[in-house]
Copies of this chain bind each other. A is one copy, B any other.
Amino acid sequence: MHQAGLMMDRPLLISAVIEHAAAQYGDVEVVSRETHGPLFRYTYRDCARRSRQLANALADLGLKPGDIVGSIAWNNHRHLEAYYGVSGSGMVIHTCNPRLHAQQLIYIINHAGQKAMLFDATFAPLIKGIAAHCPTVKTWICLSDAAHLPAIDGVADVRAYEDLIGPCSAQFNWPEFDENTGAALCYTSGTTGNPKGVLYSHRAIVLQAMAGCMPNVLSVSCRDTILPVVPMFHINAWCIPYGAPIAGAKLVLPGPRLDGESLYTLMEDEKVTLSAGVPSIWQGLIAYVEQKGLRFSTMRRTGVGGSAMPQALIAKFADTYQVEVRHGWGMTETTAVATMGTLTPRDLALPKEQQHAIVARQGKSLCGVEIKVVDAGGATLPRNGTSQGELMVRGPWILREYFKGERSPLQDGWFPTGDIATIDATGTMQIRDRTKDVIKSGGEWISSIDLESAVVAHPAVAMAAVIGVKHPQWDERPLMFIVCKPDQAVEKYELLAFLAERVAKWWLPDDIRFVDSLPVGGTGKVQKEELRRKYGGVFG
């Protein structure tokens, strides 16, 4: 009935990305911080050549298409080659997050049935602790030359990456296969239960990387120098390791040095125009720059996500340093960013503070991705900027089911993100809370994040956390925890008065507890589960 289109049946494959860069931007530099310190520099042509050598080396090891090859590594050039050499061969690169507990690492490596592991020398102690528990891993490869190869007790045959690929031919015919083939695997951090694996396809990664380069998103061109601080061990470093070669942008990989001074120096030395990272990284960078009274000579734009970027930091980047913030949202299940904001001409005509308020939201869905917010019954809520509901997402680079998962998490074809959000009439989405943290009070929702953001603006407050506590009449009511700044104090009624000017009356916490500390996990977020276990009794 439909007419079949008569276009070539050419798959979107990751191997084509690095060959595209080698053929057209062959002389463009990739600069990489070695794990042992110095800067290494080469070109996309070199990177393609060595990716092919790696592909030959993997085949020589007896690895086959479909096999899973792990990595525990910083953002560096060998990790980049692994992105291409492994996936381009039809194997799957399993990027392991070194911040996981050893038990979780052992779980995911075994769950994946991983055959080999590439790791940076930094993580040798980690490897030592887990190797004996990972029987499927037959080959351990340190991303170094022989001179920097660490000895690891209990792991007999650690290979040096350079020794492994050095003898191999730089000729390799990248295989062609279905673009829906798995290319990369990343496990969620799994705060409750075991981590779950997300298996990205070639199609998902190439489409996301293209969408991520678009002018409304990160805007990456051959005139840019891009420094991804977002780690290559987590959601594909936002697909920047694929997008930069697509665009022919110079790529700067910071290795293990992510402190403000190291990043600033690298940005200035390499004339970085564009970067991407989480807010805490930018806090550290700005603190350093402010302390030293420095400026950015070439930086013009930065992507930020992972958690909400405070409006004050957005303002500082924009007004003080003339760096445009592109604020986005994504999660392990969405390959990379799924939404990102860019100020429109209409926005740019507003006063600065209103512009920053718009940037503080998480932006619009990228071309290819659809978003909606739904109520508890699954009904779509209006795009009015105030109706809060669970954020649902759909598109070719969104998870369908978890790797070796038991049942699909999808609801009516949409992925439920576990985030509570609003969407306004311009399609701009704002994360308001996590479903598990939102407080359901009298049939309405109170955002714990909004309450926390409001109270930390008080000069005496260092940290805040809000949880819902069972209430006989209202179902749940907010309970607030406050850590004061050193040598500062504030009364409960003062904070309530402060909040009353900033949130609705019925949002005011039923109680405020002053504590010396809050439990913070590996990702820098307050562990509300622990607070709930300890304090989640009943009010009233």
Contacts and interface: CB of A to CB of B under 8 A. Distances in A.
Contacts of A65: 1-2
Interface string A201-241: 11110000011011110011111100000000000000000
Contact of A401 (B2, B6, B346, B367): B6
Contacts of A400: 6-9
B214 A247 contact: yes
A64 interface: yes
Interface stretch (A23-31, A103-111, A139-147, A510-518): A23-31
B66 A2 contact: yes
A113 B399 CA distance: 41
B8 A394 contact: yes
Interface stretch (A156-164, A175-183, A351-359): A175-183
A215 B204 contact: no
A181 B215 contact: no
B90 A10 contact: no
A497 interface: no
A399 B66 CA distance: 31
Main secondary structure of the interface of A (DSSP, over half): loop
A246 interface: yes
Q: How many copies does the complex hold?
A: 2
A111 to B, nearest CB: 13
A197 to B, nearest CB: 8
Contacts of A7: 180, 199-201, 203-204, 335, 396-400
Contact of A10 (B5, B224, B396): B396
Interface string A408-431: 001001010000000001111000
A374 interface: no
Interface in A306-363: 335, 342, 344-346, 348
Contacts of A11: 396
Contacts of A397: 7
A296 interface: no
A3 interface: yes
B344 A223 contact: yes
A24 B214 contact: no
Contact of A213 (B8, B10, B214, B246): B214
A345 to B, nearest CB: 6
A18 to B, nearest CB: 12
Contacts of A335: 7
Contacts of A17: 367
A84 B34 CA distance: 51
Contact of A221 (B24, B219, B220): B219
Contacts of A1: 64-66
Interface of A: 1-12, 16-17, 20, 23-28, 64-66, 68, 90, 92, 177-178, 180-183, 198-204, 210-211, 213-216, 219-224, 246-248, 335, 342, 344-346, 348, 364-365, 367-368, 370, 383, 394-403, 410, 413, 415, 425-428
30 contacts: A2-B66, A3-B199, A4-B180, A4-B181, A5-B183, A5-B202, A6-B399, A7-B203, A7-B204, A7-B397, A7-B398, A7-B399, A7-B400, A9-B396, A9-B400, A10-B395, A11-B396, A16-B370, A17-B367, A27-B426, A210-B211, A210-B214, A213-B214, A214-B221, A215-B222, A216-B221, A219-B221, A222-B342, A222-B345, A246-B367
9 nearest CB pairs, A to B? A5-B201, A215-B221, A24-B427, A3-B182, A7-B204, A5-B182, A6-B199, A24-B364, A10-B396
